[in-house]
Amino acid sequence: MTKNEFMMNEYGISKELADFIDECEREAEPHFKKAEEIAALNQMRVMKAFNRNRVSETHFAETTGYGYDDLGRDTLDTIYAELFGAEDALVRHSFISGTHTLSTMLFGVLRPNDTLLAVTGKPYDTLEEVIGFSGEAGNGSLADFGVKYEQIDLAAGGMPDLDKIAERLKKSFVKVCLIQRSKGYAVRPSYTAEQVGEVARFIKSVSPNTIVLVDNCYGEFVSECEPTAVGADLCAGSLIKNAGGGLALTGGYIAGRRDLVELCAYRLTSVGIGKECGASLGFNRSMYQGLFMAPHTVLQAVKAAILCGVVYKKLGFSVMPEPSDVRGDIIQAVTFGTAKGVIAFCKGIQNGAPVDSFVSPEPWDMPGYSDQVIMAAGAFVQGASIEFSADGPIKEPYTAYMQGGLTYESARLGIAMSVKVLKESGVI
The binding site for ligand PLP (CB under 6 A) comprises 97-99, 102, 124, 126, 180, 182, 184, 215, 217-218, 238
CA distance 375 to 360: 10
CB 50 → ligand PLP: shortest distance, Å?
26
The residue among 99 and 210 lying less far from ligand PLP, judged by its C-beta, is: 99
Q: Is the peptide bond before 160 cis (omega within 30 degrees of 0)?
A: no
CB 285 → ligand PLP: shortest distance, Å?
22
The residue among 25 and 329 lying less far from ligand PLP, judged by its C-beta, is: 329
Phi, psi of 265 (to 5 degrees): -65, -35
CB 238 → ligand PLP: shortest distance, Å?
4
Helix (H) or strand (E) holding 344, with range, is helix 339-351
CA distance 354 to 158: 35
- Residue 264 CA to chain centroid, in angstroms? 20
The residue among 217 and 307 lying less far from ligand PLP, judged by its C-beta, is: 217
CB 184 → ligand PLP: shortest distance, Å?
4
**Who contacts 320 (Cβ-Cβ below 8 Å, separation ≥6)?**
183, 187, 188, 189, 332, 333, 335
Give 410: exposed, middle or buried? Use CB within 10 Å, 0-12, 13-18, 19+.
middle
The residue among 39 and 330 lying less far from ligand PLP, judged by its C-beta, is: 330
CB 127 → ligand PLP: shortest distance, Å?
7
- Residue 363 CA to chain centroid, in angstroms? 22
Tell which residue, 190, 239, 181, 186, has the closest CA to residue 383: 239
CB 370 → ligand PLP: shortest distance, Å?
15
On whether the CB atoms of residues 213 and 233 are closer than 8 A, the answer is: yes
CB 301 → ligand PLP: shortest distance, Å?
13
The residue among 219 and 309 lying less far from ligand PLP, judged by its C-beta, is: 219
Tell which residue, 343, 352, 326, 361, has the closest CA to residue 400: 343
On whether the CB atoms of residues 236 and 101 are closer than 8 A, the answer is: yes
CB 12 → ligand PLP: shortest distance, Å?
33
Q: Is 373 helix (H, G, I), strand (E, B) or coil?
A: strand
The residue among 102 and 419 lying less far from ligand PLP, judged by its C-beta, is: 102
The residue among 97 and 297 lying less far from ligand PLP, judged by its C-beta, is: 97
CB 131 → ligand PLP: shortest distance, Å?
12
CB 362 → ligand PLP: shortest distance, Å?
19
CA distance 386 to 219: 11
Which residue lies nearest ligand PLP, judged by its C-beta? 98
CB 256 → ligand PLP: shortest distance, Å?
17
On whether the CB atoms of residues 193 and 226 are closer than 8 A, the answer is: yes
The residue among 75 and 103 lying less far from ligand PLP, judged by its C-beta, is: 103
The residue among 217 and 265 lying less far from ligand PLP, judged by its C-beta, is: 217
The residue among 97 and 286 lying less far from ligand PLP, judged by its C-beta, is: 97
The residue among 7 and 248 lying less far from ligand PLP, judged by its C-beta, is: 248
Q: Is the dihedral of CA 63, 65, 67, 69 positive or negative?
A: negative
CA distance 162 to 179: 12
Q: Is 165 helix (H, G, I), strand (E, B) or coil?
A: helix
Farthest CA pair distance, the chain: 69
CA distance 59 to 402: 35
